[in-house]
Structure 1
Amino acid sequence: MSIVIITGGSRGIGAATALACAQRGTGVILTYNNNPAAAEAIVKTITADGGQAVALKLDVADSSTFPAFADTVRTTLRETWGRDDFDQLVNNAGYGLFKSIATVTEAEFDGLFAVHLKGPFFLTQALLPLLADGGQIVNLTSATTRVATLGVAPYASFKGGLEVLTRYMAQEFGERRIRVNSVAPGAIRTELGGGLNDEFETLLAGQTALGRVGEPEEVATVIATLLSLETQWVNAQNIEISGGFNI
């Protein structure tokens, strides 16, 4: 059985990815920050279906906790699966902020940086000794790195940095046969940035070739496929999942 760690796995794309991976027979470690009940609900859904899952607390913004988190992962792997390593990492945790460049505070900037670029960098570093050779990493970027969208400059900038980091990870981890790719969701129906109201959804749907916003499950299916041997020759790529957003 393969084992995947998914950050921010209690809701949205992370939760959908946890369910999609579990349906493929993968053991799941999902992380949460402020909502243990939501995380446990995903664990219960997976275990009720015959799968194996564990929820662990993690604040991706606080890199000082990563060594202790890696120790917890090591213990969890031994106690739950009888293993000393895992196979797949999905750097998904994140949040949105919609403010113009002129009004973003330094604290807001630093918060977004910590979660969307610094966090994935140092969490991957902390977990790398536990990641099995031949494993896979998927980083969550954003279609806003391609399409300049008003109000998301810091968020998009750090997601752009993560897209570049993905290629560097693929290069450096290649000697261990670890594949690293990223996916860039477009407009997806999640709680990110407060979610979508009807007016905003209509606007985004009108900018999408397929005429609607996407669902978390549609992103999750692509992530689960990238983690599988079906895509074993796909590496160092950023794949946009947007239904044709602003083309």
Structure 2
Amino acid sequence: MTTPITPIALVTGASRGLGRSTALKLAANGVDLIVTYHSNLAEAEAVVQLIQAHGRRAVALQLDVGDSNTFAAFARTVTTALADTWQRDRFDYLVNNAGSGAHASIADTSEEQFDRMFNVHLKGTFFLTQKLLPLLRDGGRILNTSSGLTRFALPGFAAYAVMKGGVEVLTRYLAQELGARGISVNTIAPGAISTDFGGGAVRDNAEMNASIARQTALGRVGMPDDIGGAVAALLSDGNRWVNAQRIEVSGGIAI
């Protein structure tokens, strides 16, 4: 009887927030991890230790998703990590999670803010995926991250939401072009989550938190594990036929 091969997921921005929860939920489901971090190696190594506590293997690699000039070198680093840690040349799941926020009205948004959102969320997702496609096994999965803000509009988030709308379109094109390789591609769209994202406003501003809770059918703001659990479920074998879809995980906000 052949022993099943443990799947490997690459999760960007996994040292904190939604990426951290995603990595730990996947580890609990028997997945090994390549986790990336922007600048906080200590936090990333702490996540690796927690993954290893689940009996899974993991490595942490530095990556700035806003700098596409580094992606080719990053892909080579992933190749080395796969060979050294797993004696393999392919991984199974790519979760494009890393990102940052910007809060400004359209009238007040600077070109610098707009370009940063573009580089991180849209250009970064496009070209990082491109560079990693040769390392993703046939039959694997890609899960991109969007936002509830592509469905409903809140003042001050236009630049961010525009890029996430582009990610949703990119998801459908990836699904079409990668179908011949058996690779499914979906988008997860979180609602408002209690993290340090965007300066931690949802988490730390009691008035904002309460307002969001009132607009949400389940009566509260989201928590990181709400998203991490959903990602792990979407990457499970039972969801292999889900493809080219936007799945909102928001507790039912603005319905």
Q: What TM-score does the superposition give when structure 1 sets the normalisation length?
A: 0.99
Q: Please list the CA deviations of residues 149-175 of structure 1 after superposition, one character each: whole Å capped at 9, or x if unmatched.
A: 110000000000000100000000000
1:112 — aligned with what? 117
Segments of 4+ moved more than 2 angstroms:
none
Offset, 1:34: 1.6
Q: Please list the CA deviations of residues 20-77 of structure 1 after superposition, one character each: whole Å capped at 9, or x if unmatched.
A: 1111111100100021111111101111231111110000000010000000000000
1:96 — aligned with what? 101
2:17 — aligned with what? 12
Query: Which one of the candidate residues 31, 40, 44 is aligned to 1:35?
Result: 40
In structure 2, runs of 5+ residues without a counterpart are 1-5
Aligned-residue Cα RMSD (Å) equals 0.7
1:245 — aligned with what? 253
Q: Percent identity?
A: 58
Q: Distance in 1 between matches of 2:209 and 2:250?
A: 14
The code of the aligned residue for 2:67 comes to: D
Q: Distance in 1 between matches of 2:83 and 2:28?
A: 22
1:86 — aligned with what? 91
Alignment of 1:221-240 (within 5 A): 221-240=229-248
Alignment of 1:41-190 (within 5 A): 41-190=46-195
Q: Please list the CA deviations of residues 92-124 of structure 1 after superposition, one character each: whole Å capped at 9, or x if unmatched.
A: 001111110111110110001001100010000
Offset, 1:126: 0.2
The code of the aligned residue for 1:214 comes to: G
Offset, 1:226: 1.4
The code of the aligned residue for 1:160 comes to: G
Q: Distance in 1 between matches of 2:96 and 2:144?
A: 5
SS at match of 1:206: helix
The code of the aligned residue for 1:41 comes to: A
Count of residue correspondences: 247
Q: Distance in 1 between matches of 2:187 and 2:53?
A: 30
1:216 — aligned with what? 224
The code of the aligned residue for 2:165 comes to: G
Greater mean alpha carbon deviation, residues 139-148 or residues 186-195? 186-195
Q: Distance in 2 between matches of 1:4 and 1:227?
A: 10
Q: Distance in 1 between matches of 2:36 and 2:147?
A: 21
Q: Distance in 2 between matches of 1:103 and 1:34?
A: 29
SS at match of 1:102: helix
Q: Distance in 2 between matches of 1:199 and 1:98?
A: 17
| 1:200 equivalent in alignment to 2:208 | yes
Q: Distance in 2 between matches of 1:44 and 1:149?
A: 38
Q: What TM-score does the superposition give when structure 2 sets the normalisation length?
A: 0.96
Q: Distance in 2 between matches of 1:190 and 1:172?
A: 34
Q: Distance in 1 between matches of 2:164 and 2:207?
A: 26
Q: Distance in 2 between matches of 1:175 and 1:61?
A: 29
Offset, 1:191: 1.1
The code of the aligned residue for 2:106 comes to: I
